[in-house]
Amino acid sequence: MEHGLHLHWPWMILALPLPWLARRLLPPGEAPAGGALWVPFFQLLADLARAAPAGPPGRRTWGLALGIWLLLTGAALRPQWLQDPTGRPTSGRDLMLAVDLSESMLTDDFLYQGQRIDRLRAVKAVTAPFIRRRGGDRLGLILFADQAYLQTPLTFDTHTVAGMLEETVVGLVGKRTAIGDGIGLALKRMRHRPQPSRALILLTDGQNTAGEVDPLRAAQVAAQEGVRIHTIGIGAPRQGGLAGFLGLTQGTELDEATLREVARLTGGTYFRAQDPESLEGIYQELDRLEPTLADQENFLLRTELFPWLLGPAFLLLLGRVAWAVR
């Protein structure tokens, strides 16, 4: 369908000669012989009838009636102005992100743009651009600590998902780490989606210390349901010297064995992010492993024009009534 003027109901043009046909084919109406209804304002109607000009309608009256009917018929054709088709990317891929908000995410062992920042800030700085460039995918966000919570359901609005991630703070959902609950909630939200296009990206810096679901058991269920889980371990490696002896770095708290097994069971990949640069590289690799399936769905924008015809017809009719009763 080309852009420009379009008549949605062109067959309504058949209504154009109806008044002429009615006048030609129908017999004229007869005046009632007597009144059967008491009208409290009868005298006013009688005065109006005496004031009205006698005889057949004049040319102005017929012209006005013809103009009103032409406008009404034009509106009935439902004219529309069609604009050029607008494309909207769509995708069959559902991508859920599960982000650890446990207390250890406050560890400031990441160096970003010359400043030492905590792990959560590093995740936000690198993950938000990854989310925004996934246009055409349905993304969702899960936060987990003592329990798992759905922060954003699956949606095409990637900018909202990125914004919700940037507003998260440690302590929002507890202090410990419920990895299994995070996986379980993601499976629940994606259960009824098409199987070949479901994936979960899980970011954590610790080990499963809370929740009711075992991570490996949740991974087995995910494998049965065809959900791939890519796991990302966050945190710099444990340093030597006095800082490492005192336990000021928390790289060894990461349960890499479990994260590797979760990824293996579901056909995903395990990554280790020791700095923002490596995390950015991980997301680039995930873009390759989970390419955006952006099919183009075209939408035709329509602007209805019939109100521009109905409006003048109503005003002309209103003016005719006002002229008759003046």
Tally Cβ neighbours within 10 Å of residue 210: 19
pTM (2 decimals)?
A: 0.62
Q: What is the rounded average pLDDT of the residues 33-60?
A: 57
The CATH class of the 88-296 domain is: alpha beta
Q: What is the rounded average pLDDT of the residues 189-197?
A: 77
Backbone angles phi, psi at 6, to 5 degrees: -140, 135
Q: pLDDT per residue over 138-154, tens digit each? A: 899 999 999 999 999 99
Is the dihedral angle over the CA atoms 267, 268, 270, 271 positive or is it negative? positive
Q: How confident is the model at residue 187 (pLDDT cuts 50, 70, 90)?
A: very high
Q: What is the pLDDT of residue 85?
A: 65
Alpha-carbon distance of 93 to 97, in angstroms, equals: 13
Q: What is the pLDDT of residue 165?
A: 93
Tokens of 288: 């390759």
Alpha-carbon distance of 112 to 134, in angstroms, equals: 23
Q: How confident is the model at residue 254 (pLDDT cuts 50, 70, 90)?
A: confident
Q: Which residue has the higher pLDDT, 295 or 266?
A: 266
Q: What is the rounded average pLDDT of the residues 180-203?
A: 87
- Domain ranges within the chain, ordered by starting residue: 88-296
Q: pLDDT per residue over 50-100, tens digit each? A: 555 544 556 677 778 888 888 888 888 888 888 776 655 555 578 999 999
Q: What is the pLDDT of residue 99?
A: 94
Q: What is the pLDDT of residue 243?
A: 43
* Chain CA centroid to CA 117, Å: 33
Alpha-carbon distance of 273 to 254, in angstroms, equals: 11
Is the dihedral angle over the CA atoms 217, 221, 226, 229 positive or is it negative? negative
